[in-house]
Amino acid sequence: MSRPELLERRSVISGIGQSDVGRRLGRSDLDLTVDACLAAIADAGLTRDDIDGLATFPGAGVGTAGFAGPSSPEVQDALRLALNWHDGGLEGPGQLRAVFAACMAVAAGLARHVLVYRTVTESTAQGEGGRQGIGGGGGDGRGVPRFSGFLQWTIPYGAVSAVNWLAWIAQRRMYEYDLTREQLAWISLNGRRNAARNPKAIYREPLSLDDYLAVRMISTPLCLYDCDAPCDGSTAVVVSHADYAPDAPRPACHVNAVGTAIRGRPSWDQFDDMTTFSARDAAASMWARTELRPSDVDVAELYDGFSILTMVWLEELGLCAKGESGPFVEGGARIALDGSLPLNTSGGQLSAGRLHGFGMLHEACLQLRGEGGERQVARPPEVAAVAAGGGPIAGCMLLTRGPS
Amino acid sequence: MTTPGAAAGPARGPAVRLLPRLDDANRFFWTSGEDGRLRFLRCGACRRYVHPPVPRCPYCLEGPLVPEPVSGRAVVHSFTVNVQQWIPGSDPYVIGLVTIAEQDDVRLTTNLVDCAPEDVHIGMAVDVTFEHADDVWLPLFRPAERPGDRSAR
* Tens-place pLDDT, residues A302-321: 999 999 999 999 999 999 99
Per-chain mean pLDDT for chain A? 96
End-to-end CA distance of chain B: 38
Q: Is the pLDDT of residue A345 over 50?
A: yes
CB A386 within 8 A of CB A95: no
Cα–Cα dist A311/A314, whole Å: 5
Q: Give the one of A133, A148, A274 whose C-beta lies nearest to B86's C-beta.
A: A133
Is the confidence metric ipTM above 0.85 for this complex?
A: yes
Q: What's the angle, vertex CA A9, arms to CA A346 and CA A360, rounded to 5?
A: 15
- DSSP classification of residue B45: T
Enumerate chain B positions whose Cβ falls within 8 A of a Cβ in A.
Answer: 1, 3, 13-23, 26, 51-52, 77-88, 90, 93, 95, 97, 105, 107-111, 122-123, 136, 138, 153
Of A166, A184, A389, A400, the closest CA to residue A280 belongs to A389
Query: Which chain A residue lies closest to B84 (C-alpha atoms)?
Result: A218
Q: In the A/B pair of chains, how many CB contacts fall below 8 A?
A: 132
Residue B153 identity (one-letter amino acid): R
CB B105 within 8 A of CB B132: no
| pTM attached to this predicted model | 0.95
CB atoms closer than 10 angstroms to residue A251: 17
Peptide bond into A58 cis (omega under 30): yes
Q: Do B109 and A219 touch (CB under 8 A)?
A: no
CB B99 within 8 A of CB B53: no
Q: Which region among A111-115, B76-80, B141-145 has the lowest average model confidence (pLDDT)?
A: B141-145
The bridge status of strand A11-18 relative to strand A232-241 is antiparallel
The 10s digit of each residue's pLDDT in A126-142 is 887 777 777 654 444 45
Q: Is the pLDDT of residue A143 over 80?
A: no
Peptide bond into A156 cis (omega under 30): no
pLDDT score for B148: 53
Cα–Cα dist B151/B121, whole Å: 7
The full length of chain B comes to 153
Distance from CA of A151 to the nearest CA of B (A): 8
In angstroms, how far is CA A344 from the centroid of its own chain?
A: 10
Question: Choosing among B81, B84, B135, B136, which should be mutated to test the A contact, i.e. which has the most A CBs within 10 A?
Answer: B84
Work out the average pLDDT over A260-279.
Answer: 98
The 10s digit of each residue's pLDDT in A79-106 is 999 999 999 999 999 999 999 999 999 9
